[in-house]
Structure 1
Amino acid sequence: MPETAWETLSRAMAEIRALSGASALLQWDQETYMPPKGSGARGDQLAAIQGAQHERLTAPPVAEALARAEAERTADPDRAAALRVLRFDHDRAARIPGDLVRAIAQAQAAGVDAWKAARDTGDFGRFAPALERLLALRREQASAYGAPAGGEPYDALLEGYEPGMRVARLEPLFARLVSWLVPLVEKVTARPPPDDAFLRGRFDPEQQWQFTLELLDAVGFDREAGRQDRSIHPFSLGLDPGDVRVTTRIFEDLPLSAIFSTLHEAGHGLYEQHLPAELRRSVLCAAPSMGLHESQSRLWENLVGRSLPFWRAFLPRLARRFPALEGVSPEVFFRAVNRVERSLVRVEADEVTYNLHIVLRFELELALLRGKLAVKDLPEAWDARSERLLGVRPAAARDGVLQDIHWAWGELGYFPTYTLGNLYAASLFAAARRGVPGLDDELGKGNLRPLLGWLAEHVHRIGRRKEAEDIVRDATGNGLGDRDFEAYLTEKYGA
């Protein structure tokens, strides 16, 4: 008996998911344990797997089965959602030739290798050729996708991370953010900074590592369904709800780096672990957008991890590992971890300045895609925008244009999702406070599970059954906007 259209699609989705997991595992290994001389072969391996994934998604039998399944009526909401998502993924992938998919995968592997070498030496020139190649390929990709009606090439790439988002919507949103963030930065940094002398000195790396594992357990990250390792740039990858990889980085003189990197990546990891496992072989077992994914990492890192209730519970645990902190009160520690500074490095930035770092990158990416900025001029353009938006100018490329790994992957269009995540996070946390009685009291006791339960119900377990903004609107009553975020920062830092 021949397969039904849905059976053909179900088998294809399972294979695509399996290939995606294999690709993610290779990428995780590349950033953690792969020996330096393995980069050449890794590029070939990723190209082969991602090429096979692309071929499976765009295969004629899949296209035919998709058309037949869409023509049939279905009362199953999950099947209807899967068909919608498959149509989006298929049509987008079908516009890209397989040779281009493989070329991008190889260029990404070479780009990461070149970025690491350039970062080690502080020489942007060692990365520039690889970035030129990635930019050319992304332009070719954007052209193949085609700009959406009334849009531009950047929209075609942005769509891959945040479906439905457009430059025309981002530019006024970011302009509004800058209009009130810059004065807030000026106001807060004009005050005497909070005391953080107790955070200076040597903090044993092994004790830091053990505390990050304690944090993972506290937030509900299942270490039987995931693991944490170390990398230059913290990241997370979900192979499956039962296999989620996160990383952190540890500096013996910067104890907050490991703490907040772990909380951030744990937020991503919790999302991946609580995706609908019953749909693990379906395209629905994923987040609908990177902005919504980022909302989870920023929520746990900032709205929880930088809150006073959190440190009332966890400062005594940290002080047991580092006796120098025993005399510090939660209130003093809370002020120290919320210190606002005009800093250079995005991943170490405070909540008030962070989105200005994103605006900087968004402006540069737009200029690159629009052909108004050459790669060779990127370091100077970066430095000038850093001075304009943040009031500081990098003295070295590793603290400026070379600080992020994203362009080494050619991820043009990804950075705006960080700010979208911050905005969604503020709205979701405000809604969780309304929906979970005594939430702050529970956080103050170190009981983080009620919050995780609310997020799992209202965000994680939905997967791609709905669009990102619809998920947020259903959970909070509002779509994308900066009002909740502005109220949160103004209340917290205006006090």
Structure 2
Amino acid sequence: MADPAPSPRSAAWETLAAVMSDVRALGGAVSLLQWDQETFMPARGAAARGDQLAVVQAALHERLTSRAVAEALDRAERDADGDPDRAAALRALRFDHERAARVPQELVRALAQAQAEGIDAWKAARAERSFARFAPSLERLLALRREQADALLPMLERRAQAQPEEAAPERAGGPGGRGLSRPPGKIEPYDALLEGYEPGMRVARLAPILQRLAGWLAPVVAAIDAAPAPEDGFLAGRFDAEAQWSFTLELLQALGFDPAAGRQDRSVHPFTLGLDPGDVRITTRIHEDQPLSAIFSTLHEAGHGLYEQHLPAQDRRSLLCAAPSMGLHESQSRLWENLVGRSLPFWRAFLPRLAARFPRLAGVAPEDFHRAANRVRRSLVRVEADEVTYNLHIALRFELELGLLRGALAVRELPEAWAARSEALLGVRPRHDVEGVLQDIHWAWGDLGYFPTYTIGNLYAATLYAAAARSLPGLDEALARGELAPLRVWLAERVYRVGRRKDAEEIVRDATGEGLTDRDFERYVKTKYGALYGLSLAG
């Protein structure tokens, strides 16, 4: 007897399940090519790597945007009621399908080629300390991203007309909170790129967040700047690179990063790529005269890595096996790097282990190391910046990106614009392009719109950590014993394993009772740094 024909509902779902599985596999192939590009690829491999990425990304785009996918989505969505996981997967696929379908495949290929060439040009420009070497590649990437934004804008405008603006601030900030809700505002090209990293976020909501942060951070930085700086002379001199590397591996083990499901390598700019919960690649960078750099870059990338390794593995062939936004992903890198890694309990546990490799630190008290690790400086380089000034670095990049997308700033004007805004926001001016406009890899990827997710991540991180501390009364004592598992498990249950079943702000609200707010971050910064510097920073 022949098997019965599948129902239209099951046939549509089976079609989409196969599509999602292929999209995940192709996305993993893209990530693997990019990881190799940044770690072990020979210098002369850039041109071929551009060809390879263009072909694979075009195949991914074609699979995601076919007419069969659109038709199956329409059918499956009508019948998804009663199955929340299936409904969540369909929402994720609908979002990705609609964004991809608006972008021509020729543009996808052109972007892949331009990104590969951009990375190569950026590395050469850094070696030469010359933005002019990178400028033509950035011009090309900017033109392509504008084309992408123009293609996506009608979709965002249609969605804005169909959906009411977010309601009262209480919804975003929680009961009694200072919510950061979205005011009404015109959709603009930057929104189209920003949404690729932070779905639903708009310039109209983001700009006031950054303005408010800069408003209360500026006097905090000024007050700290006028106070005596902590002693950190014990961090001067040469710290053997291999001993640093060994310590970063010990940190990964303590954090619970599974070496059978990932690896750490070295790169010019640290990054994380998750191919699958069972294959997560992170990198760090080591400077023998800056021992904290490798420590905090490893903690940062390990935060990303823990998220990737704890995504719902049962959904590995589904779009649910992903974070819902880069802001939420960055919350984990910033939480482990700063809320944990720059805390006194953490160094009570790990300073003796570091001193075992560097005996010169054997006589340093954890309290003194903690103060040195949290020294606030008006610094030039974002990835080395302290918690207090970090968001000012993001404000600088956001202003420049917005100027580029609005046509108010030309690529050739970037070095001087960067230097001027650095001086205004941070009080320091770069001496050369590597300290300024060439320091980040993001523009070499064409990742315009990504930087604000770091600030969103900082805000989410403070809120999540405050909630974890309330739920885990012995958290400080556990950290001081080097026991990081309780916090990791708390985050895995409430954030990592949710995957893409909910949007980022909903996940944070469910875990903490708060949405996107700077209240917890402000309290954290003013309390911690007021105590470290003997200042009254409240208010």
1:479 aligns with 2:515: yes
- Kindly state the Cα deviation for residue 314 of structure 1 after the two structures are TM-superposed: 0.3
Return the match for 2:262 from 200, 221, 226. 226
Per-residue Cα deviation, 1:431-453 (whole angstroms, up to 9, x for no partner): 00011120111001000000000
CA distance in 2, matches of 1:273, 1:444: 25
CA distance in 1, matches of 2:43, 2:473: 51
Match of 2:12 in 1: 5
Match of 2:33 in 1: 26
Match of 1:158 in 2: 194
Per-residue Cα deviation, 1:111-136 (whole angstroms, up to 9, x for no partner): 00000000100111110000000000
Name the SS of the counterpart of 1:399 in structure 2. coil
CA distance in 2, matches of 1:71, 1:462: 24
Match of 1:123 in 2: 130
1:218-257 alignment, distance < 5 Å: 218-257=254-293
Note the residue ranges of structure 2 that are not aligned, 5 or more in a row: 158-185, 532-539
CA distance in 2, matches of 1:74, 1:216: 42
1:204 aligns with 2:204: no
Return the match for 2:403 from 367, 386, 391. 367
Match of 1:260 in 2: 296
Return the match for 1:434 from 470, 491, 494. 470
Tell me if the contact between 2:377 and 2:386 (Cα under 8 Å) persists in the aligned partners.
yes
- Kindly state the Cα deviation for residue 60 of structure 1 after the two structures are TM-superposed: 1.2
Inter-CA distance 73–274: structure 2 relative to 1 (3 Å threshold): closer
1:77 aligns with 2:84: yes
1:363-402 alignment, distance < 5 Å: 363-402=399-438
1:317-356 alignment, distance < 5 Å: 317-356=353-392
1:419 aligns with 2:455: yes
Give the paired residue count: 495
Note the residue ranges of structure 1 that are not aligned, 5 or more in a row: none
Higher mean C-alpha deviation, range 332-341 or range 63-72? 63-72
Return the match for 1:35 from 26, 38, 42. 42
Name the SS of the counterpart of 1:341 in structure 2. coil
CA distance in 1, matches of 2:225, 2:339: 21
CA distance in 1, matches of 2:46, 2:193: 26
Return the match for 1:133 from 123, 129, 140. 140
CA distance in 1, matches of 2:382, 2:209: 20
Match of 1:284 in 2: 320
CA distance in 2, matches of 1:213, 1:131: 35
1:172-211 alignment, distance < 5 Å: 172-211=208-247
Per-residue Cα deviation, 1:397-421 (whole angstroms, up to 9, x for no partner): 0000000000000000000000000
CA distance in 2, matches of 1:167, 1:270: 30
Aligned-residue Cα RMSD (Å) equals 0.7
CA distance in 1, matches of 2:464, 2:201: 19
1:459 aligns with 2:495: yes
- Kindly state the Cα deviation for residue 64 of structure 1 after the two structures are TM-superposed: 1.0
Tell me if the contact between 2:347 and 2:480 (Cα under 8 Å) persists in the aligned partners.
yes
Name the SS of the counterpart of 2:275 in structure 1. strand
Return the match for 1:111 from 109, 118, 123. 118
- Kindly state the Cα deviation for residue 76 of structure 1 after the two structures are TM-superposed: 1.4
Name the SS of the counterpart of 2:434 in structure 1. helix
1:51 aligns with 2:58: yes
CA distance in 2, matches of 1:427, 1:51: 39
Return the match for 1:90 from 97, 107, 127. 97
Name the SS of the counterpart of 1:12 in structure 2. helix
CA distance in 1, matches of 2:81, 2:150: 35
Per-residue Cα deviation, 1:346-378 (whole angstroms, up to 9, x for no partner): 000000000000000000000000000000000
Higher mean C-alpha deviation, range 67-76 or range 25-34? 67-76
TM-score, L = length of structure 2: 0.91
Letter in 2 for 1:225: A
Tell me if the contact between 2:153 and 2:187 (Cα under 8 Å) persists in the aligned partners.
no
Tell me if the contact between 2:80 and 2:86 (Cα under 8 Å) persists in the aligned partners.
no
1:62 aligns with 2:98: no
1:469 aligns with 2:476: no
Letter in 2 for 1:29: D
Return the match for 2:206 from 146, 170, 176. 170
Per-residue Cα deviation, 1:149-176 (whole angstroms, up to 9, x for no partner): 3310000000000000000001111110
Runs of 4+ in 1 over 3 A off after TM superposition: none
1:489 aligns with 2:532: no
Letter in 1 for 2:129: G
Letter in 1 for 2:335: L
CA distance in 2, matches of 1:63, 1:436: 46
Per-residue Cα deviation, 1:250-282 (whole angstroms, up to 9, x for no partner): 011110000000000000000000000000000
- Kindly state the Cα deviation for residue 73 of structure 1 after the two structures are TM-superposed: 4.0
CA distance in 1, matches of 2:20, 2:292: 41
TM-score, L = length of structure 1: 0.99
- Kindly state the Cα deviation for residue 460 of structure 1 after the two structures are TM-superposed: 0.2
CA distance in 2, matches of 1:304, 1:347: 17
